[in-house]
Structure 1
């Protein structure tokens, strides 16, 4: 089995076409690290956290912190997996919610493997997390941000029904300098109004 695949997952949520969401925990550290490294250069164009190539121990620690956040109710971290022949899943991306209960809002984040862009996996996964945010979590608002030049991420935000609420000048700090960040928001009322 490939290095970016996991043989079992404690829990999965189907996305269709053999794709699933699974908990983003240390159980999938090796596979998650492999796909993260494979996409590092591409992700570093948009995300300061990806500028340095991650070390395996750093990835495992990041996943352990995400799992603790899940247990504490401050995060909902999931990975996207696609079924592979012979069983198991290949990790191809990541989604997550940072949950602010006192503000009744969550922030959505995501990335996808270059070979799996344009297949609707992030959109379908994001819809699951947004529905959970406005349903069981009882949030009033979900936000997301993107570097202003990240047109794919911005287009996805708009397809999901988010509204651009402003540009934050020099809000993302890279080693080469600061860049502007655009913020999007989606309210529970707007989400419900747009659903069939």
Structure 2
């Protein structure tokens, strides 16, 4: 099984079908919390729905030449959330990141560690030239992550996403491989 160990507590690993129940439970436990910013939660109604999502993720592994696009975030042996590339434009070498953590795992630095590792994976392993994050303008917690990691705010898209009963605007953040190469030695010191 593919594992990216980040430290003693946090790792990223490939999803397996055996994760369906734990991933479903995490999603449902955090549903009210996550629903403010994630528009797909009402479509998750059973462990089977989650298993189908995992099967799709595994299919993408094959389509992406053996490189996973998304990972389970593991904290102290428990599934804490997910992070990955919602889209990869191979021609232009652009990856668009998506991520979420269960409510009980917030505020522990887990996502910052996972995000840094995903950026490294995107630039080094996938050969991306650009990584983007699109996040609701008012989602300040999610916006703080790319801002903290050196992404540049590049603009806003009006009414970019439908969230249950209203549209939200998105902020677009971008980071280029050359910028990460300059920033990464500073991050590790």
Q: Residue 173 of structure 2 corresponds to which residue in structure 1?
A: 184
Name the TM-score, length of structure 2 as normaliser. Answer: 0.90
Separation in 2, partners of 1:100, 1:27? 29
List gaps (5 residues or longer) in structure 2. Answer: none
Q: Which residue of 2 aligns with 1:96?
A: 84
Deviation digits for residues 66-105 of structure 1, max 9, x if unmatched?
111122118511011123xxxxx21111101132111210
Tell me, what secondary structure is at the counterpart of 2:125? coil
Give matches, 1:105-144, under 5 Å: 105-144=94-133
Shift of 1:169: 0.5
User: Partners in 2 of 1:163 and 1:40 — Cα distance?
Assistant: 30
After the TM superposition, which parts of structure 1 deviate over 4 Å for at least 4 consecutive aligned residues? none
- Aligned positions of 1:12-51 closer than 5 A: 12-51=3-42
Mapped partners of 1:75, 1:170: distance in 2: 30
Question: SS in structure 2 opposite 1:195?
Answer: helix
- TM-superposed CA distance for 1:24, in Å, is 2.1
So what's the TM-score if we normalise by structure 1? Answer: 0.87
Could you tell me which residue of structure 1 aligns to residue 134 of structure 2? 145
User: How many residues of Structure 1 are paired with residues of Structure 2 in the alignment?
Assistant: 182
Q: Provide the C-alpha distance between the structure 1 equivalents of 2:45 and 2:170, rounded to a whole number of angstroms.
A: 24
Aligned to 1:16, what secondary structure does the other structure show?
Answer: coil
SS at match of 1:47: coil
Greater helix share, structure number: 2
- For residue 135 of structure 1, give the secondary structure of its aligned residue in structure 2: helix
Asked whether the equivalents of residues 75 and 99 of structure 1 are also in contact (C-alpha less than 8 Å), the reply is no
Give the distance between the partners of 1:125 and 1:162, measured in 2 at CA.
15
Q: How far apart, CA to CA, are the structure 1 residues paired with 2:101 and 2:5?
A: 17
Query: What is the distance in 2 between the residues matched to 1:11 and 1:152?
Result: 29
Change (3 A) 1:149 1:45: same
Structure 1 window deviating more from structure 2 (152-161 vs 74-83): it is 74-83
Aligned with residue 73 of structure 2, among 70, 74, 80:
80
Name the SS for the 1:33 alignment partner. Answer: helix
Deviates more, 1:94-103 or 1:185-194: 94-103
